[in-house]
Amino acid sequence: MNERYIPREQSAGWQRFKMTALDDGAGERRAGERRAAEADGTARAKARQEGFSQGYQAGQAQATTEAARIRAVAAQFVQSCETLEQDLAEHLLDLALDIARHMLRSDVKARREALLPVVREAIACLPDQVQRPQLQLNPADVELIRARIGDELQMTGFTIVEDHRVEPGGCRISAPNCEVDATLPARWRRVLAALGRDLAWADG
């Protein structure tokens, strides 16, 4: 084997070879890149979380607004139904009262005897020891009352008076210190007052 030596004086411009790091700063760069990537990932995750939170809050606010709107619509619907129901009930009551009035008139004509309990009830409303009471009746009802309770009325001091202003089926009792109106219009007004209505007997 041939060996060749280079004399010292000829190797003045040369230096001994020395191993250096192979990465030449690449590792540090990669670490920096990893840190940057991690920071970027953290920032992205934070941004996503903030976006989700804002979207959730906006969704809740919209849902609350929509729920309030639906409740308002529902309340308005219920109120409309109640108003409609009340109006319908009012119309039905008016119709029922109108029918009752016509039936009562027909009943008075058909059943003259229905006047008897009316007269007795009117007499019961008088105070004790009333002086000179008069029972005012329509001429068409006088004969019936005289035939049925004429003697009883005479014994208690009543005088029967014909009065065309009193509609058949009703009566009025008058005395110096009191009066009992049991005419059909008066009785009708009392019934309507109890129902909170105002419908004249002569209407219709």
Q: What is the pLDDT of residues 32-90, one digit of tens each?
A: 777 777 777 777 777 677 766 776 676 777 768 767 776 776 677 667 656 656 765 76
Per-residue pLDDT tens digits for 141-198:
999 999 999 999 999 999 999 999 999 999 999 998 899 999 988 888 887 887 777 7
Last residue of a domain, one of 110, 131, 156: 110
CA–CA gap between residue 111 and residue 200 (Å, rounded): 23
Q: Is residue 15 part of a domain?
A: no
Paired tokens of 32: 């920096």
Last residue of a domain, one of 91, 110, 129: 110
**Alpha carbon distances (Å) from 199 to 85, 103, 154:** 21, 15, 37
CA angle 164-169-170, nearest 5°? Answer: 70
User: Number of structural domains, the chain?
Assistant: 2
Q: Is residue 10 part of a domain?
A: no
Last residue of a domain, one of 75, 110, 145: 110
Q: Is residue 202 part of a domain?
A: no
Q: Is residue 95 part of a domain?
A: yes
Residues 85 and 131 in one domain: no
Nearest CA-CA partner of 174 in 187, 161, 184: 161
Range of the domain at 188: 114-195
Identify the bridge partners of residue 182 per DSSP, sorted by sequence position: 171
Residues 184 and 165 in one domain: yes
Paired tokens of 199: 């419908």
Give me the count of residues in the chain: 204
